[in-house]
Amino acid sequence: MARNPDADNAPVKKEIESPTSKYDAEKAASFKVVGSRPARPDGMDKVTGKARFGADMVMPGQLVGLILRSPHPHAVIKSIDSSEAEALSGVKAVITRDDFTPNDDHADVLYNIMAREKALYEGHAVAAVAATSRAVARKALKLIKVDYDILPHVTDVDEAMSPDAPVLHDNIITRGVSPTPTKPSNVVARSEFGHGDIEAGFAQADEIIERSFKTAATHQGYIEPHACVANVGTDGMSELWCCTQGHFHVRQVCASLLGIDVSRLRVTASEIGGGFGGKTTVFIEPVALALSRKAGRPVKIAMTRDEVFKASGPTASSSMDVKIGVTKDGRITAGYGVFRYQGGAFAGAPADFGAMSAFACYALDNVKTEAYDVVTNRPKGAAYRAPGAPMSVYAVESVVDELAARIGMDPIDLRLKNAAKEGSKSSYGPKFGSCGLVETLEAAKAHPHYSAPLGPNQGRGVASGFWFNFGGETCSNLNINADGTVTIAVGTPDIGGSRASMCIMAAEELGISYDKVRAIVADTSALGYNDTTEGSRVTFSSGMAVIKASQQAVTEMCKRAAMMWDIPAEAVTWEDGYAKPSGPNAGDFEPLSLAEIAATAGKTGGPIAGHHEYNADGAGVSFGTHIVDTEVDPETGKVDIIRYTVVQDAGKAIHPDYVEGQFQGGAAQGIGWALNEEYIYGDDGKLQNAGFLDYRMPVASDLPMIDTVIVEVPNPGHPYGVRGVGETGIVPPLAAIANGVSAAAGVRMTELPMSPPRVLKAIDDAKVAAE
Amino acid sequence: MSGIHVSTKINGDAVEYVCDVEETLLDVLRDKLGMTGSKEGCASGDCGACSVTVDGRLTCSCLMLGAEAQGREIGTIEGVAKGTELHPVQQKILDNAALQCGVCTPGFVVAAKALLEKNPDPTETEIRYWLAGNLCRCTGYDKIIRAVMDAAAEMRGN
């Protein structure tokens, strides 16, 4: 579960009920390669500038594609006249909504990549051109005449929910409420999760705190803008090069939107310059394909940073109410939360994930959460690292922190007392299997950071967080080469070093050294369908497929050795990279190495390979606990992060460097979200800070070193015990930092980001209130 | 729009090209010369992914016109390693796993090399402020800073 929340992109999949695999404790006790820290296979190309990212591809005769975007946040598109642009010398194609036929399977995606009846946000694509140069393409955009009828707009989630708000879509009738509304609104759906009786629970509480919170929309902030090159052949055979987290998904959606067979479109995933969920869908790819089809030449489109901010998929902003009751001795008796998320102009705000994960850290008898998915005149949201969870957990962990102070209990002790553990019924339904929240809390409490003295104007915050993790459809190949080396093909783009982990797992299973194995991300024509790199699934799912493919190859190599020795295949075992005769034949023959078996494969039956394809289940949740020291300047309201420690359960760290990297990166993104990053809209409904100068992501001088503690509670659903680690790291920081700042400033911070003006105002308001 | 003829030196090699007046040095490097190691992350000088040196000085190539390279000496990521021999900054970035997606890495390599040429023994704080013009969204900078400190130590012979 917990894949891309983009409902339109994500067909409902049949869930498998039991884990695909089981933890192999015996194997784990004797790891030789797993847990080591070798250099990654793509590292050399990346430090020398040779690695090819989305915008680095050139196809012969390629044209430049540019997109015309709506300057209005909400407007009817009465007409589009592109005749002058088409007549301009050097223009080879112009496309508009008329070049795409309606598509029931991907209606919202289609509407988002090229506006239809209305432009729904500033930056919504309305037309595109392909021309021989950027200068000509720019000129052509200016010649396209769009006649707009401007409509009132709404960008705030609470305003969008009010009965008199401008309504974006005539066909959105709120789901999940009774009776079914008779009129359309901006509320796509209400969902509810939980169990027990919260009123009875609150009646048992000695202390109850109820607060409202708001968080701003943030952007994933990957440094590489979206880019692609599309080439539709004269016979319709098409190729697409693009930076994406999921090229199989891109192929499926693009083929559908263009009305072509999937087999006619071959998608190659370039190296990807960051994604964090934001590259799990399509924006420019179908446009480039449609332009190429019309022009008969390859077309490259690369977004500018301004376009990335205005027209790719940021995350939701939120408005939330949380109420928690606790006894004097620290037992949480009830938890209740309402989470209203806007996800831009189309359905799919991750409100349900927010509501499901809000109380996931706690084993509660009485818990209830409500989620509202709301549309506004903002760009269609996309997934962002643990989509929906950081905000709701910020609200819950803030109230938990305040309750701990109220009853005079250490905040880690309060969490330990109520922590979810194996067998606990989760706040979103299922029972937890083996999981490591308690272990992260204990490790955090024991960490020297937690007891270090604080200076003036400093405050320490802690918070825990959770992510579901995901398995999903996976297909990997492994080839034993004639020289004894091994090549792995996976279908999951490598964003953070996963190829290194794949090589480690194959080396471990085959009993050969890491440098004999190479992993590549294969294109869509080379493998069966692979789900996207999302849900922290790659090291878990593709890794397990690599392990199984290795085991298959081992079985085959044993068979070949048996053939060479003329003994039964069952009488051969595989040990440390060698086939050895066993049982009655033990010691009869010299062991045969993988390289020796590979060298003679042509004489024993041909090439040796392994493959594995499955729908992985049993991903195993990951919990984390963060500690942060903040310092607040009472004069300016500026917050500095003085010290930061991440403690998280990785199940088993295959390549610890990249596990630490995920922890540190998640924390840094969370720090930005907590302190500075926000989509700022003017009254005109236009984004006011669509650039890195004004959308202030953390830079090196903003941050301290980020300490990490890898906790390893093996995932029972993976042979090596792996849990996904990519997303959990961004869940606790918002709350941990807010708790630290609240302690330092002496006032509870209920709105993010905690930018200097907001912190200063909170301090001043508290002073006024105290007087 | 008439083209401007430019004679310059890139990574020690004499290079000539004709560019439009509006083209940035980054456009020229990437689109005209096929040197795609310098990346465009923002085109506004805020991310540092296009970092180059101009007469030894660290510069965002997106903030400089291609025409302005006339008579200058440009250094790009492609010229940092000598054949297969990596610069210590590159090697230490690999050793420290100081990259995840790697798109910012060329900019960090060029910027860190420029720092160490100017200041062979920087403090952690000096490194953090020098590299504040280079955005990395994946790593939280921790391993990058450690890599640069390691490279500095190695270059000093420690």
Q: What is the pLDDT of residues B21-53, one digit of tens each?
A: 999 999 999 999 999 999 999 999 999 999 999
Interchain contact A222–B (C-beta under 8 A): yes
A197-208 residue pLDDT tens: 999 999 999 999
Could you tell me if B8 and B74 lie in one domain? yes
CB of A3 closer than 8 Å to CB of A597:
no
Could you tell me if B97 and B149 lie in one domain? yes
**Total-model pTM:** 0.97
Closest Cβ–Cβ partner in A49, A495, A705 for B37? A49
Could you tell me if A622 and A771 lie in one domain? yes
Binary contact (A47, B86; C-beta < 8 A): yes
Residues of B in Cβ contact (< 8 Å) with A300: none
Question: Helical H runs in A537-682?
Answer: 543-565, 594-599, 601-604, 656-675
Measure CA A545 to chain center. Answer: 21
Is a pLDDT exceeding 80 seen at residue A213?
yes
Could you tell me if B117 and B98 lie in one domain? yes
Nearest-CA distance from A217 to chain B in Å? 17
What per-residue confidence (pLDDT) applies to A770?
87
* Token pair listed for A18: 């039991």
Q: Is residue A438 part of a domain?
A: no
Q: φ, ψ for residue A199 (rounded to 5)?
A: -65, -45
If residue A444 lies in a helix (H) or strand (E), which one and from where to where?
A: helix A437-446
Spell out the residues 6+ positions from residue A635 whose beta carbon is closer than 8 angstroms to its own: none
Residue holding tokens 């001043």? A764
Rg (CA), chain A: 27
Nearest to A736 by CA among A441, A331, A417: A441
What per-residue confidence (pLDDT) applies to B2?
76
pLDDT band at A286; cut points 50, 70, 90: very high
DSSP secondary structure letter of residue A99: G
Mark which of A567, A601, A616 sits at the end of a domain: A616
Interchain contact B47–A (C-beta under 8 A): yes
* Token pair listed for A140: 């052509």
Interchain contact A89–B (C-beta under 8 A): no
Full domain range(s) for residue A630: 443-462+618-771
Could you tell me if A547 and A607 lie in one domain? yes
Could you tell me if A554 and A700 lie in one domain? no
Rg (CA), chain B: 16
| Helices A543-565 and A498-510: angle between axes, nearest 10 degrees | 30
Interchain contact A450–B (C-beta under 8 A): no
Amino acid at A471: G
Interchain contact A52–B (C-beta under 8 A): yes
Could you tell me if B117 and B60 lie in one domain? no
Mark which of B57, B79, B101 sits at the end of a domain: B79
* Share above pLDDT 70 across residues of chain A, in percent, rounded to a whole number: 98
Could you tell me if B70 and B32 lie in one domain? yes
CATH number at residue A649: 3.30.365.10
Could you tell me if A492 and A611 lie in one domain? yes
What per-residue confidence (pLDDT) applies to A642?
98
Closest Cβ–Cβ partner in B35, B127, B135 for A223? B135
A304-316 residue pLDDT tens: 999 999 999 999 9
Residue holding tokens 């301004």? A306
Burial (CB < 10 A; 0-12, 13-18, 19+), residue A25, is exposed
Answer positive or negative: Cα dihedral of A175, A181, A184, A187.
negative
CB of A264 closer than 8 Å to CB of A233:
no
* Token pair listed for A353: 């994930």
Closest Cβ–Cβ partner in B39, B43, B139 for A664? B139
CA distance B107 to B42: 13
| Average pLDDT of the segment spanning B130-148 | 98
What per-residue confidence (pLDDT) applies to A17?
47
Is a pLDDT exceeding 90 seen at residue A37?
yes
Is a pLDDT exceeding 80 seen at residue A120?
yes
Mark which of A593, A616, A639 sits at the end of a domain: A616
pLDDT band at A16; cut points 50, 70, 90: very low
pLDDT band at B1; cut points 50, 70, 90: low
Burial (CB < 10 A; 0-12, 13-18, 19+), residue A723, is buried
Binary contact (A661, B138; C-beta < 8 A): yes
Full domain range(s) for residue B15: 4-79
A640-678 residue pLDDT tens: 999 999 999 999 999 999 999 999 999 999 999 999 999
Q: Is residue A645 part of a domain?
A: yes
Is a pLDDT exceeding 60 seen at residue A13?
no
CA distance A218 to A383: 11
What per-residue confidence (pLDDT) applies to B79?
98
Could you tell me if A607 and A696 lie in one domain? no
Could you tell me if A513 and A647 lie in one domain? no
CB of A154 closer than 8 Å to CB of A378:
no
pLDDT band at A584; cut points 50, 70, 90: confident
Residues of A in Cβ contact (< 8 Å) with B104: 223, 273
Interchain contact B40–A (C-beta under 8 A): yes
Amino acid at A576: D
Determine how β-strand A125-131 pairs with β-strand A63-69.
Answer: antiparallel
Q: How many domains are there within chain A? A: 2
CA distance A534 to A280: 7
What per-residue confidence (pLDDT) applies to A585?
86
What per-residue confidence (pLDDT) applies to A18?
66
Burial (CB < 10 A; 0-12, 13-18, 19+), residue B55, is exposed
Closest Cβ–Cβ partner in B90, B93, B142 for A664? B142
Could you tell me if A505 and A588 lie in one domain? yes
Q: Is residue A570 part of a domain?
A: yes
Mark which of B48, B79, B110 sits at the end of a domain: B79
What per-residue confidence (pLDDT) applies to A21?
86
CA closest to B42 among chain A residues: A305
Could you tell me if B22 and B59 lie in one domain? yes
Closest Cβ–Cβ partner in A37, A135, A668 for B97? A37
| Average pLDDT of the segment spanning A634-639 | 96
What per-residue confidence (pLDDT) applies to A14?
38
Q: Is residue A427 part of a domain?
A: no
Q: Where are the strands (E) in A71-152, listed by range?
A: 75-81, 91-95, 118-119, 125-131, 145-150
Amino acid at B125: T
Residues of A in Cβ contact (< 8 Å) with B37: 48-50
Q: Give the sheet arrangement for strand A299-302, strand by strand.
A: A91-95, A125-131, A63-69, A299-302, A227-232, A238-242, A265-269
Is a pLDDT exceeding 50 seen at residue A8?
no
A324-381 residue pLDDT tens: 999 999 999 999 999 999 999 999 999 999 999 999 999 999 999 999 999 999 999 9
pLDDT band at B7; cut points 50, 70, 90: very high
Between vectors from CA A121 to CA A116 and to CA A125, what angle results, nearest 5°? 50
CA distance A53 to A273: 7
Could you tell me if A447 and A507 lie in one domain? no
CATH number at residue B59: 3.10.20.30
Interchain contact A691–B (C-beta under 8 A): yes
Q: Is residue A535 part of a domain?
A: yes
Mark which of A595, A616, A637 sits at the end of a domain: A616
Closest Cβ–Cβ partner in A55, A135, A698 for B20? A135
CATH number at residue B129: 1.10.150.120
Over chain A, what is the mean pLDDT? Answer: 96
Q: How many domains are there within chain B? A: 2
* Omega before A753 within 30 of 0, i.e. cis: yes
* Share above pLDDT 90 across residues of chain A, in percent, rounded to a whole number: 96
Residue holding tokens 């610069």? B87
Could you tell me if B74 and B97 lie in one domain? no
CA distance A174 to A280: 26
Binary contact (A699, B38; C-beta < 8 A): no
Q: Where are the strands (E) in A82-165, listed by range?
A: 91-95, 118-119, 125-131, 145-150
Chain A and chain B share a number of CB contacts under 8 A equal to: 188
Binary contact (B101, A496; C-beta < 8 A): yes
Binary contact (A701, B128; C-beta < 8 A): yes
